[in-house]
Structure 1
């Protein structure tokens, strides 16, 4: 009897899944279209207040709390909860800002005080070097502040770029988001089986390839993140082994007053084995250590709500 009940539930779930996804996808599309008609800063603030209020009641809040306690054992419960509220607030802002990605990058080097984006010291020089060296580069990022914005930086500086991304599971939402992204994010490459080949070809052609590297990857290499073992996607280091190009990290820091600071890290030198080849696991550890340093500086702006450690 139990098997029949479970089978019936599975049949109902499979039958209703397309309808549920269609409804959710339609709601996402409507929300994105409506949000675009309102002021970006005010909408981001409204979304932040909503997620800050609702977030603590969601299951992800417990995941975030456990992650933070493991990463920062010396912090009090009150400090942990304060960071978590900041995480929810940041997530709400990101949700609202997605609808305005095609014009949120506002940087006037001649008048930085009037710009929404400012550059960290040394970043403009690194951008210039990447622009003029005649070769591609590997650029890694993390789910910090608004993690969509780094993809806007390269086109803004005239760098030919390609960005690896994961498609949303819901087709309607995917189409709506891609339409916004397509304006000024360079070439978008989905995480399909042929993605590594496409990325390698892009690097050979002098394209600057960007990817997020801070999530759990079950078939990944072992790294240490906040003192705990985690799995990292080795794709970036494998590409570097195949095509030797500079490796840099890029992060966006959220500032008060609806402003952001963009920062390119110094070149991350890949680790090599005794034969002189790039050591994939050790190089991913070097990249992960950079990201850990970023997160320690602004823990309330990183996405603690996923299970980074398994």
Structure 2
């Protein structure tokens, strides 16, 4: 009996490995093929494709449940319109990622002719970060085009270290890293040694960036849209080791295939009675900023994952 169980286990592992290899090859092929086509037309096409396929997936129900709980005042029609925007945004990100080395189109001398819009205050804050000689912690969320904040940092001369999550498929990870290494700073994969590497980057004066808007089992409890959930406390824990400015960055999708890059004002950390960084309170302060962003552009946030458990 144990022999049969072992055979079945090996068979499942082999099938899983072959399936992963096939998906990885398909991902690589799609990304490389997409680069041969017009990026704007491809983004439109991908948006239409995900807009049709998305409602057939189980994530559609997850998004509907999330939005209904987050916005009880919205009608079912408004909820469905937001979800449609979510699928459209997701498809466009896929097409834009394939052209990640071309999508950052900004010329400070001719801002009106650029595809990226940068408010004066964001310009001022970026230059302040670049010139103050200090490290900084930058957080972002799965809003708008969430691959572009790293491009914004490097485009403004920041020495950036970016925490990212590797795809589960090794071959897909290689092509993703290859594309992300174009003007995205130092890439640090999530893992056991990530906190150490990120702390070292801060100690070297780098600007460390990370996502903060996904559920983390074992994370600290925070309130998001009035509901309890858990968030990654890594940013606040790093701040305990290296005190530095904290800012949020988002890239909002605008009509006409344009974007607006925004850097928030400094988010002040919460401190305990001893004056130390309060990890839970600071994580909540960062979460509050993300919530304000999502409330402003709900159709551009990734409602497809289970943010509340």
1:199 is matched with which residue? 198
1:252 is matched with which residue? 251
What is the alpha-carbon distance in structure 2 between the residues aligned to residue 24 and residue 124 of structure 1? 41
2:131 is matched with which residue? 132
What is the alpha-carbon distance in structure 2 between the residues aligned to residue 86 and residue 120 of structure 1? 24
Listed as ranges, the matches of 1:153-302 within 5 Å are: 153-302=152-301
- Residue 11 of structure 1 deviates from its aligned partner by 4.6
- Residue 292 of structure 1 deviates from its aligned partner by 0.2
What is the alpha-carbon distance in structure 2 between the residues aligned to residue 132 and residue 98 of structure 1? 30
Listed as ranges, the matches of 1:15-34 within 5 Å are: 15-34=14-33
- Residue 150 of structure 1 deviates from its aligned partner by 0.3
What is the alpha-carbon distance in structure 2 between the residues aligned to residue 69 and residue 6 of structure 1? 44
Q: How many residues align?
A: 309
User: Deviation string for 1:173-231 (max 9, x for gaps)?
Assistant: 11111111111000000012111111111101110000001000001000000000010
How big is the alpha-carbon RMSD for the aligned residues of Structure 1 and Structure 2? 1.6
What is the alpha-carbon distance in structure 2 between the residues aligned to residue 58 and residue 178 of structure 1? 28
- Is residue 307 from structure 1 mapped to residue 281 from structure 2 by the alignment? no
C-alpha contact (below 8 Å) 1:162/1:210 kept by paired residues: yes
What is the alpha-carbon distance in structure 1 between the residues aligned to residue 218 and residue 195 of structure 2? 15
User: Deviation string for 1:46-97 (max 9, x for gaps)?
Assistant: 0000000111110000000000000000111010000000000000001111
- Residue 5 of structure 1 deviates from its aligned partner by 10
Structure 2 gap ranges (5+): none
What is the alpha-carbon distance in structure 1 between the residues aligned to residue 69 and residue 86 of structure 2? 16
What is the alpha-carbon distance in structure 1 between the residues aligned to residue 64 and residue 10 of structure 2? 36
User: Deviation string for 1:84-122 (max 9, x for gaps)?
Assistant: 000000000011111011121111112111111111341
What is the alpha-carbon distance in structure 1 between the residues aligned to residue 3 and residue 60 of structure 2? 35
- Residue 12 of structure 1 deviates from its aligned partner by 3.4
What is the alpha-carbon distance in structure 2 between the residues aligned to residue 296 and residue 235 of structure 1? 24
For the residue of structure 2 that corresponds to 1:107, the secondary structure is: coil
Larger mean CA deviation between 81-90 and 7-16 belongs to 7-16
For the residue of structure 1 that corresponds to 2:304, the secondary structure is: coil
Q: Which runs of 4+ in 1 moved over 3 A?
A: 3-12
For the residue of structure 1 that corresponds to 2:82, the secondary structure is: helix
What is the alpha-carbon distance in structure 1 between the residues aligned to residue 125 and residue 216 of structure 2? 30
What is the alpha-carbon distance in structure 1 between the residues aligned to residue 42 and residue 171 of structure 2? 22
C-alpha contact (below 8 Å) 1:135/1:205 kept by paired residues: no
What is the alpha-carbon distance in structure 2 between the residues aligned to residue 61 and residue 13 of structure 1? 29
C-alpha contact (below 8 Å) 1:238/1:280 kept by paired residues: yes
C-alpha contact (below 8 Å) 1:144/1:303 kept by paired residues: yes
For the residue of structure 2 that corresponds to 1:122, the secondary structure is: helix
TM-score norm. by structure 2 comes to: 0.97
What is the alpha-carbon distance in structure 1 between the residues aligned to residue 84 and residue 233 of structure 2? 32
TM-score norm. by structure 1 comes to: 0.97
User: Deviation string for 1:129-152 (max 9, x for gaps)?
Assistant: 101110110000000011000011
Larger mean CA deviation between 8-17 and 32-41 belongs to 8-17
